[in-house]
Structure 1
Amino acid sequence: MLKHLFKLIWNKRKQNFLFLSEILVSFLVIFAVFSFLTYYYQNYTKPLGFEYERVWAINYDNGQFPKNKDSLQTLYSTLSNSLKAMPQIEEVCYASGNFPYASSTMSTAVKQNGKKFDRVNFYTVSEDYKKVWNVTMLAGRWFEPEDAVSKDKSIVINETLKTAIFGEGSAVGKLIGDFEDKHKMKVIGVVQDIKTAGDYWPAGNAMFNRLDTGYLKDTRNILIKVSPDADATFESQLYKFMTSTFKNSTIEIEHLSEMRDSKNKVTIIPMVIFMIIAGFLIINVALGLFGVLWYNINKRKGEIGLRRAIGASGNSVSYQLVLEALILATLSLVVGCFFAVQFPLLSVFDVPSSVYLIAMVLAVIFIYLLVFACALYPGKQAASIHPAVALHEE
């Protein structure tokens, strides 16, 4: 049976070329869609690693700040104490501009045993950063005041960077080099991964530095954790307090919950648009496949009538036409899988191989279902052809 089908397909290779091309293009488009969806879904299912619901970010700039480091430190210490004294504020910390869901990013590289690890997100934070976000320590500890006078610079790394550098071994107490490997940094703790770019993106490699007096002159962000009863009235009071503290400064208060929604929309909206475009393409391809199969049946009425006349059942005729379509789909999928498998082999876009493999399997299943659905009705129509009518028309 299969040998006969392959012979029929080969004899009509020119007519089947369009069918094969449509299946190949459809597979590649569906593979791309499922790759995105699988990648985003895998990231979405991972925990955030922090709490953002009642965190506000206060941004300020263009203000007149003291030039002296001691005066600047006194200013920020007084400001922190004043904010903590407000009943609606539970925790306060200072941070660099690349805090979670912010548009700013900072990255560097670290070295360990001659191996370089690129694209490490580094965050400069004060000691209360952990309390504001309620991050989870997996090993070691968070920053403490005595870290300011330690011999080697103290850092905290996330789980992803720890696994990349030390594997399953312990990282606490180990030394790693900076991007030029001139200075050593001591790992004092490992935190759970924090997805700072949104729910649909991985945490990536991350490293936290303790904010010291030298960085205060560049600090323009205060993160506060407010109580559940903090409302618009308190936000207005807070704004007035900040404008009176920082003269001639532009003050902006942002809610992290709103920033998270905006960050996720940036990811979701293009994906939805891409899926809509892909959906229209698949509909057109399905109509094209249906039309090609219908045309082939009309062209093969004589062949179908002859098979029915010599005793072939309607089900066997329908089965043959559906199987032909599935074999043609298989030939296209073999070519498509050859191109698709290059993505995990070459580590394209630095995406885990499992994403491409899952997307490939889903795309293959989808194409088979699409072809089967498009071939089923024409196959049933072919089964209903009466042999006498078909032979008479011939």
Structure 2
Amino acid sequence: MLEIKPIFNSLRRSKAGAMMLLIQIAITVAIVSNAAFIIYDRINYLQQETGYPEQDVFSFSVLTFGTDIDKVQQIQKDEDMLRNVPGVINAVHMSEIPLSGSGSASSFALDADPTDSKTARSAYAFGDENMISTLGVKILEGRDFTQEDVVIQTTPDEIPTVTVVSKGFADDLFPEGDALGSIFHFGPYPIKIIGIIEKMKGPWLKDRAADNMILFPLVTEQTFQKMIVRTEPGQRAAVMRQVEELMLANYDQRVITSPQGMDDAKQEYNASDILMMRMLIVLISVLVMVTALGIFGLTVFNINKRTKQIGTRRALGARKSAIVRYFLVENSLICVFGLALGSIAAIYLGQALLTHYSLPALDNTYVVVTAVCVLCVSLLSVLVPANRAANISPSVATRSV
């Protein structure tokens, strides 16, 4: 017999403690289920494939103040020099650094007039024919750039006529799968797609169009330049230590700054997400611990208040298991109502986060798993004081009256 009726009557006589514990359990379920889902979502986000060999790629910036050189020719010299460094696979000058959180983006249309045309938003970058090799991305369809494709821009109207795009952009603008060889427009300029890359993330991983990236074979003369280098596995650190000295030896009227690995740049961009995930883990731990302590404390309080009752039952022949079962059932009743209330609150909280913060919709599996875990924690929290109550001697209980 689970003695449900006597337990209900006992709880009715001490409503305050039971209600506080019920509310505490409900709050724990509502917050922990949503926090756990957000953590899982952030882990998937942080572990997503970018398409780049991040551990082998690094970038740095070049600020040229000398005026006695042709900057475009110097770019070629720098790239050739870096390629000859032991451990380097390729190097390229690019207008933007992928995964850095900084870059350029625009809307691209099928027709020159975007008003009545399908459009897709994408990040884009300029560089020469070494971009794809240096980035380490894989061409799924079509071909890479050749030296003949590269445009050396001297006026704003000089725009390349071909491009290589990510599969994300190709599927976005050409959902029927006919992107290769098709033409889209960058403003009034028609651009032909000659290659499609399997996966190539843009500068902003949190952007809705994070999978959309376009590479243009274009080199411009600039005072501030960005260089990307890909090394053999395990050689990046050694090459990074040499790069400033080598670049200045090639031409000393400039400043080399910000050497940074691609994975480090990605981690820096995601620093706020990592911090939020850690804070949520701490929040979950604290909430579960406080709930367990609350259950433990209420059980101890009830035992101290019912010493005479427990002693009398023991004197009448009640087994220790019956005493333990009594407190487990009592706690389970409170917990079940708290879990039901908390589950409803978790669903509403998840909808609110979806509406106001554009977070993914809460998976109800997390609510169920959280409720089961909280129930297990609550039962474990009761076991120690319940066993202590079961060991009360009938004679000690009688003397305590």
Confirm or deny a common fold (TM above 0.5). Answer: yes
Q: Which residue of 1 aligns with 2:154?
A: none
Q: Secondary structure of 1:217's match?
A: coil
Distance (whole Å) between structure 1 residues aligned to residue 130 and residue 259 of structure 2: 19
% of aligned pairs identical?
17
Q: Which residue of 1 aligns with 2:134?
A: 132
Unmatched segments (≥5 aa) in structure 2: 111-115, 152-157
Q: Find out whether 1:368 has 2:375 as its counterpart.
A: yes
Q: Do 1:322 and 1:372's aligned partners in 2 also have CA atoms closer than 8 Å?
A: yes
Cα offsets for 1:47-105 (capped at 9, x unmatched): 452213333323112534689xxx543332343334334455331112234334x3534
Matches within 5 A, 1:135-154: 135-144=137-146, 145-146=148-149, 154=163
**1:294: Cα distance to partner?**
0.8
Matches within 5 A, 1:372-383: 372-383=379-390
Q: Find out whether 1:104 has 2:102 as its counterpart.
A: yes
Pair 177,318 (structure 1): closer, same or farther in 2 beyond 3 Å:
farther
- Letter in structure 2 aligned against 1:50: Y
Distance (whole Å) between structure 2 residues aligned to residue 167 and residue 9 of structure 1: 62
Matches within 5 A, 1:81-120: 81-100=80-99, 102=100, 104-109=102-107, 120=122
Pair 375,87 (structure 1): closer, same or farther in 2 beyond 3 Å:
closer
Distance (whole Å) between structure 2 residues aligned to residue 115 and residue 203 of structure 1: 15
Q: Which residue of 1 aligns with 2:343?
A: 337
Q: Do 2:184 and 2:191's aligned partners in 1 also have CA atoms closer than 8 Å?
A: yes
Distance (whole Å) between structure 1 residues aligned to residue 207 and residue 366 of structure 2: 17
Cα offsets for 1:188-246 (capped at 9, x unmatched): 41422549779x99993331231413x44376111122356968886666423423555
Q: Do 2:59 and 2:226's aligned partners in 1 also have CA atoms closer than 8 Å?
A: yes
**Which of 201, 210, 214 is residue 216 of structure 2 equivalent to?**
210
**1:252: Cα distance to partner?**
2.4
Q: Which residue of 2 aligns with 1:27?
A: 29
Distance (whole Å) between structure 2 residues aligned to residue 389 and residue 103 of structure 1: 70
Q: Find out whether 1:58 has 2:67 as its counterpart.
A: no
Matches within 5 A, 1:1-394: 1=2, 4=5, 5=7, 8-10=10-12, 12-43=14-45, 45-61=47-63, 63-64=65-66, 71-100=70-99, 102=100, 104-109=102-107, 120-144=122-146, 145-146=148-149, 154-159=163-168, 169=177, 171-173=179-181, 187=193, 188-194=195-201, 204-213=210-219, 215-217=220-222, 220-227=225-232, 238-243=243-248, 245=250, 248-252=253-257, 254-256=259-261, 259=264, 263=268, 266=271, 268=274, 271-272=277-278, 274-276=280-282, 278-305=284-311, 312-342=318-348, 345=351, 347=354, 349-353=357-361, 356-357=363-364, 359-386=366-393, 390=397, 393=400
Distance (whole Å) between structure 2 residues aligned to residue 360 and residue 141 of structure 1: 48
Pair 31,249 (structure 1): closer, same or farther in 2 beyond 3 Å:
farther
Q: Secondary structure of 2:53's match?
A: coil
Pair 360,174 (structure 1): closer, same or farther in 2 beyond 3 Å:
farther
Pair 76,2 (structure 1): closer, same or farther in 2 beyond 3 Å:
farther
Q: Secondary structure of 1:316's match?
A: helix
Distance (whole Å) between structure 2 residues aligned to residue 116 and residue 9 of structure 1: 64
Q: Do 2:26 and 2:340's aligned partners in 1 also have CA atoms closer than 8 Å?
A: no
Distance (whole Å) between structure 1 residues aligned to residue 137 and residue 307 of structure 2: 70
Distance (whole Å) between structure 1 residues aligned to residue 191 and residue 345 of structure 2: 44
- Letter in structure 2 aligned against 1:99: P
Q: Do 1:26 and 1:282's aligned partners in 2 also have CA atoms closer than 8 Å?
A: yes
Pair 143,375 (structure 1): closer, same or farther in 2 beyond 3 Å:
farther
Pair 156,203 (structure 1): closer, same or farther in 2 beyond 3 Å:
same
Q: Do 2:78 and 2:247's aligned partners in 1 also have CA atoms closer than 8 Å?
A: no
Pair 389,80 (structure 1): closer, same or farther in 2 beyond 3 Å:
closer
Distance (whole Å) between structure 1 residues aligned to residue 43 and residue 132 of structure 2: 27
Distance (whole Å) between structure 2 residues aligned to residue 165 and residue 361 of structure 1: 40
Q: Do 2:56 and 2:231's aligned partners in 1 also have CA atoms closer than 8 Å?
A: yes
Q: Secondary structure of 1:98's match?
A: coil
Cα offsets for 1:143-196 (capped at 9, x unmatched): 44448699966351244x556666685654556677xx8777655414225497
Cα offsets for 1:344-384 (capped at 9, x unmatched): 54635444446x54543443233122211111122222333
Q: Secondary structure of 1:41's match?
A: helix
Unmatched segments (≥5 aa) in structure 1: none
Q: Do 1:58 and 1:222's aligned partners in 2 also have CA atoms closer than 8 Å?
A: yes
Q: Do 2:102 and 2:203's aligned partners in 1 also have CA atoms closer than 8 Å?
A: no
Q: Secondary structure of 1:205's match?
A: coil
Q: Do 2:28 and 2:342's aligned partners in 1 also have CA atoms closer than 8 Å?
A: no
Aligned residues: 383
**1:326: Cα distance to partner?**
2.6
The alignment's C-alpha RMSD in Å is 4.4
